[in-house]
Amino acid sequence: MRNIRELPELLISQIAAGEVVERPASVLKELLENSLDAGATQIQVALDQGGAQRVQVDDDGAGIVREDLGLAFARHATSKIGSLEDLEGVATMGFRGEALASIAAVARVELVSRARNAAHAWSLAAEGGAPREPRPAARAPGTTVAVQDLYFNTPARRKFLRTEATEFGHCDEVFRRVALARPDLAFSLKHNGRVSAHLAPQPAEARAAALLGAEFAAASVPVDARAGPLRLHGLAGTPQAARNRADAQYFYVNGRFVRDRLLAHAVREAYRDTLHGERQPAFVLFLELDPRGVDVNVHPAKTEVRFRDARGIHQFVFHALKRALAPSAAESPVSYATVASQGSAIQAALAMQEPVMDYRAAPAPLPVSAKAPPLGYALAQLHGVYVLAQNEAGLVLVDMHAAHERILMEKMKAGLDAGAIERQRLLVPAVFRAEALEVATAEDNREALEQLGLELTVAGPNELAVRAAPALLAGGDVAALARSLLAELREFGAAQVLAARQNELLATMACHAAVRANRQLSVTEMNALLREMEQTERSGSCNHGRPTWYQLTLADLDKLFLRGR
Ligand SMILES: Nc1ncnc2c1ncn2[C@@H]1O[C@H](COP(=O)(O)OP(=O)(O)OP(=O)(O)O)[C@@H](O)[C@H]1O
Ligand SMILES: [Mg+2]
C-alpha cells in the first residue's frame, strides 16, 4: 500500500472527465447545451470522423466577455448558478461549471467567442487542461467551440471509441434530442464536410416529422394537458404505429432529455391496454414544471432526475397521456336515444356465454331515416368472425371478438371505478414462499389488495396464503398474480397499482367473457355492438393493440374495381 497523497490537478480533471465525457456524443451534448443556455437561435454542428477527430459547435448566443474566457475552462466555474438556492431552482442546462474543464482535460479545445457588444472576438486554446493567453479574433457575436483529438492524452480511453459510424450514430441521436426539444431554433449538422441535417425554425409537429419521419407525425395524436403548475405536451404515437424497438421515445423534463424510470412507467401504463406484447410506442413528450419540483443534480450526464412529488407526477403523466390516447370510435356526437335501450339489452345477451339466443325477443329494426351513426348499420356477418356494416363513407368491417372484448373491458373498468373487484374465496388457500419484504408489503397494503380482489394472509415468516382471488381469475395462477402485485405495490405504492394492475386483470377477464368467433349474431345484435363501440373509449383498438374495425370507403372499392367515378 502507498501513502495517501493529493492528485495533480490534471489527473483530477481527467478522472472527472471520465464521468462527463464518455464519447464524442457526450462532448456534443455539452456544447449544444451551452449554446442553448447562451440563448442561441442558430446552432451549427460540424463533426469529423464520428466526432473523435472533431466536434465543433457554432452559435449566435450571448458570447463570453474577454475577462471570463479563462474561467470558462476552470473547473467549478459557471455563470449559471451562484448559490444552493439557484441550484435548487436551476432552469439552465448547465450548472456545474464542469463540462468545458473536463473536455479540455482530455482533448484539444479552441474557443472563439464574441460577446454581443464587444468590438471583436477573442480566441483561447486549451490543451490537456492548460489554457493559453486569449488572442484577438474575428467572428460575429456568438461562440464557437472546437474540440479536437478526443482522448489524445489518454490512449487507454481512446481505445474504447467504436467505429466512426457508431460514434456518429450517437452524435446524431444527441443532435436529434436537442433539435426535437427546440423547434424554435435553427440547426444544422455536418459530418465529414457533408450536410446531414438542416432545420429552419418550425412548429413542433413539423420538427418531429422532419426528425422522426412523416409516418410518425401522421400516426400520432397531440397531447396538451395542464394541472396547476404541471404541463404535458407533445405528440404521442398511436398504438397502431408502435414499433418493435424503443427507438423513438423522447421524454423531456423542462426541456432536458431524460431517461427516467418513473416517467417510463407512467407512459407504459398509459399505453398498457392498447399495446400488444413487447411493442414499443413512439412519442415526443415534454413535461414542464416548476424547476424547484425536480432535482437534476443526480446523474453525471443529467439524464436522470428526481421529483419532489413523484407520485403526483406519475399520476399526472399517466392520466394526461391516457386521455390523449383514448378517443372513441365516434368522431361526432350522434343521437343514440333510439338504440340505447335495445343496445344494452343485447349487450347483456352478448356477454353471456350461452350460444342460444331468442331472436324473437329482439327489438324492432333500427329506423332507417335517422342520420346514420359513424359505424353505420350492420349488413351481415362474415365467416362468423367479421361484422359487415354500411356507413356514409362505405363499408365498415368489424372484428367482433376484438371489439366486444374492448367494450367489456371498458365496462368492467367503469364498474370497478365505482367499487371493488368481486372476490371469490378459494376452497384451498394457495400458499407460496415469500421474502420478508413481500410479507411486510402484503401486511401494509391489505386494503389495496382486497380492492383488487385478493385476500392474503401471513402463513409463516416466509409464507403467504391467497385466501380469496378475483372471481373471474380464481382458477388461474393466483400466487403469480399476488407476487407481481406485491412487487408493484412495493415499487409504486398502492394508489398507482390499483389503477394499473386493474387494467391487466380486466383485459384477461374480458378476453374470456367476450363473444367468441363462430357465434351467429342477429342483425340487431350486430347493430348493438356497433353502437356500443361508438360509445366506448379506445374502441378503435382491442386490448392487445390490434385494430377492432376498418373502413373501406366507396373510393377504395372503386379503386379495387378500376372504376372511375
Ligand atoms: N456557447 C457558449 N456561449 C456562451 N457562454 C458559454 C458557452 N459555452 C460555455 N460558456 C460559458 O462557460 C461556462 C462554463 O461552461 P461549462 O459547460 O463548463 O459549465 P456550465 O455550462 O456552467 O455547467 P455544466 O458543467 O453543468 O455544463 C458557462 O457557465 C458559460 O458562462
Ligand atoms: Mg455546460
Please give the pLDDT value at position 534. 85
Q: DSSP string of 135-198?
A: EEE---SEEEEEEESTTTT-HHHHTT---HHHHHHHHHHHHHHHHHH-TTSEEEEEETTEEEEE
Lowest mean pLDDT, pick from 115-119, 341-345, 518-522: 341-345
Lowest mean pLDDT, pick from 68-72, 272-276, 304-308: 272-276
Cβ of 181 closer than 6 Å to ligand 1, yes or no, is no
- How many angstroms separate the alpha carbon of residue 36 from the centre of ligand 2? 9
- Residue with the bigger pLDDT between 214 and 512: it is 214
Look at residue 335 and tell me whether its pLDDT is greater than 60: no
State the chain's mean pLDDT as an integer.
82
Cβ of 269 closer than 6 Å to ligand 1, yes or no, is no
Cβ of 399 closer than 6 Å to ligand 1, yes or no, is no
Separation between Cα atoms, residue 389 and residue 518, nearest integer Å: 18
Look at residue 346 and tell me whether its pLDDT is greater than 80: no
Mutation pick for ligand 1 pocket among 20, 21, 34, 295 (CB with most ligand atoms within 8 Å): 34
Cβ of 90 closer than 6 Å to ligand 1, yes or no, is no
Paired strand residues for 142: 114
- How many angstroms separate the alpha carbon of residue 259 from the centre of ligand 2? 19
- How many angstroms separate the alpha carbon of residue 86 from the centre of ligand 1? 16
Please give the pLDDT value at position 484. 72
Please give the pLDDT value at position 419. 67
Please give the pLDDT value at position 499. 67
Separation between Cα atoms, residue 512 and residue 130, nearest integer Å: 71
- Amino acid symbol at 395: L
Cβ of 142 closer than 6 Å to ligand 1, yes or no, is no
Cβ neighbours of residue 34 closer than 8 Å, sequence gap 6 or more: 57, 93, 94, 99, 100, 143, 145
Condensed to tens digits (0 to 9), the pLDDT of residues 217-236 reads 888 999 999 998 899 999 99
Closest residue CA from atom 1 of ligand 1: 35
What backbone phi and psi angles, to 5 degrees, belong to 549? -150, 165
Cβ of 293 closer than 6 Å to ligand 1, yes or no, is no
Look at residue 357 and tell me whether its pLDDT is greater than 70: no
Average pLDDT over residues 445-465: 84
Cβ of 72 closer than 6 Å to ligand 1, yes or no, is yes
Coil/strand/helix, residue 367: coil
- How many angstroms separate the alpha carbon of residue 60 from the centre of ligand 2? 16
- Residue with the bigger pLDDT between 241 and 320: it is 320
What global pTM score does this model have? 0.65
The pLDDT-based confidence of 518 (bands split at 50, 70, 90) is low
Condensed to tens digits (0 to 9), the pLDDT of residues 472-514 reads 555 566 787 788 778 777 776 676 666 665 676 566 556 654 5
Condensed to tens digits (0 to 9), the pLDDT of residues 37-71 reads 999 999 999 999 999 999 999 999 999 999 999 89
Percent of the chain with pLDDT over 90: 37
Looking at 272-419, which runs of residues are DSSP E strands? Answer: 283-288, 294-295, 306-307, 377-382, 386-390, 394-399
Cβ of 80 closer than 6 Å to ligand 1, yes or no, is yes
The pLDDT-based confidence of 434 (bands split at 50, 70, 90) is confident
Condensed to tens digits (0 to 9), the pLDDT of residues 127-150 reads 876 777 899 999 999 999 999 999
Please give the pLDDT value at position 411. 66
Residues with CB under 5 A from ligand 2 (ion): 34, 94, 99
What backbone phi and psi angles, to 5 degrees, belong to 411? -65, -45
Percent of the chain with pLDDT over 70: 82
**H/E stretch holding 405:** helix 400-418
Q: Residue 411 to residues 79, 414, 538: CA-CA distances in angstroms? A: 56, 5, 12
Average pLDDT over residues 74-100: 88
Closest residue CA from atom 21 of ligand 1: 94
Please give the pLDDT value at position 24. 95
The pLDDT-based confidence of 447 (bands split at 50, 70, 90) is confident
**H/E stretch holding 280:** none
Count of CB atoms within 10 A of residue 513's CB? 18
- How many angstroms separate the alpha carbon of residue 305 from the centre of ligand 1? 21
- How many angstroms separate the alpha carbon of residue 230 from the centre of ligand 1? 28
Closest residue CA from atom 24 of ligand 1: 94
Separation between Cα atoms, residue 114 and residue 127, nearest integer Å: 21
